[in-house]
Structure 1
Amino acid sequence: MNQIVVQTILLPPDRRDENVLRQAKNLLTKSLAPVNDNLADKDYLVGDFSAADLMLGHSCFMANRLGCVPEEMKHIKSYVAKIEARPAFQKAITLGE
């Protein structure tokens, strides 16, 4: 995720490297595949919402927001929607507006 953020947001367009971005996206897709599989039969990583979801949920949210979660990873897409619907997430995402 770090290289994706660097290559799409932090660096000015003339300093971005498409090869680095492509490699980072490929690695992210490979990393998300087992997460997607794990979420096939549950709402959250270990059943009920837990600290694990606090940690991984943010990464999945950012990956999705940056357009890096492939459409076929429907379980992660659903997971992100559940995370976004949580009242605490709604409150946190609007801080500073």
Structure 2
Amino acid sequence: MSVSQQNPIDLFYWPTPNGHKITIMLEETGLPYRVVPVNIGKGDQFKPDFLAISPNNRMPAIIDPDGPDGQPISVFESGAILQYLGRKTGQFYPSDERKRVEVEQWLFWQMGGLGPMAGQAHHFRLYAPEKVEYGINRYTNEVNRLYGVMNKRLADRDYLAGEYSIADMACISWTLNWERQGQDPSKFPNVQAWIERLKARPGVERGLAVKTDQPATDLASDKEAQKIMFGQRAT
């Protein structure tokens, strides 16, 4: 489907696995976009202007000035953004219900499983002020189980939903952090082949390369950034 996009989409972004999901999709579809940095190590995600479009104080989020009714629309949550952009362009998110269900199953598998569990593995392995052996083992083992699920799924197909889709885009940037998760992709040959297959796509390569004009935060050593990122409460 051809989409007439007169104005660039504003992408509120920081170069993280969740941010890369959206840069990959935007690069793959060819939609024009403008990166608006959200420096999560400095607390930009708690600024009122950002909370107005992302009430969960998490990036990424987008504002599409050419929304479905011709008016601007904002979308938060990376999975919802992928679905929105897929519907908008008719790309990588099929309209056939059976095929769409296949994509959605694996998209939500990432949103509810791979991403959160890998994120917890990162936290307990790298950022927790105390080495909690139970936490390290719990999340390292769960990510290992999820890699096994993916490896089995990819045994007889090139992509998670059969054809390349937003489900693959959602997963790829998380699997590139395998070392931080205590995993070895050579133990999961189908996953390893899938990773190389996606990395060979120009859109994926460009999406993963998107940076901001601000220096990255070394979260492992920046104690102030850790206070901002971890342990937030409602008040």
Q: Which TM-score applies when normalising by structure 1? A: 0.77
Q: Which residue of 1 aligns with 2:123?
A: 6
Q: Which residue of 2 aligns with 1:21?
A: 136
1:79 counterpart letter in structure 2: W
Secondary structure of 2:183 counterpart: coil
More helix by share: 1
Whole-angstrom CA distance in 2 between matches of 1:76 and 1:9: 24
Whole-angstrom CA distance in 1 between matches of 2:206 and 2:133: 35
Q: Which residue of 1 aligns with 2:197?
A: 82
Q: Which residue of 2 aligns with 1:52?
A: 167
Q: Deviations over 1:6-65 (max 9, x none)?
A: 1233335xx232331121111111122221111012211122210111122233233x24
Q: Which residue of 2 aligns with 1:35?
A: 150
Whole-angstrom CA distance in 1 between matches of 2:189 and 2:147: 11
Whole-angstrom CA distance in 2 between matches of 1:10 and 1:69: 20
Name the larger-Rg structure.
2
More strand by share: 2
Whole-angstrom CA distance in 1 between matches of 2:207 and 2:134: 34
Q: Structure 1: which 4+ aligned runs deviate by more than 6 Å?
A: none
Equivalent pair of 1:4/1:25 in contact (CA under 8 Å): yes
Q: Which TM-score applies when normalising by structure 2? A: 0.36
Q: Which residue of 2 aligns with 1:93?
A: 208
Shift of residue 73, structure 1, vs aligned partner? 0.9
Whole-angstrom CA distance in 1 between matches of 2:206 and 2:160: 22
2:151 counterpart letter in structure 1: N
2:123 counterpart letter in structure 1: V
Aligned positions, number: 94
2:163 counterpart letter in structure 1: D
Whole-angstrom CA distance in 2 between matches of 1:51 and 1:68: 24
Q: Structure 1: any 5+ residue segments left out of the alignment?
A: none
**Matched residues, percent identical?**
21
Whole-angstrom CA distance in 2 between matches of 1:55 and 1:24: 19
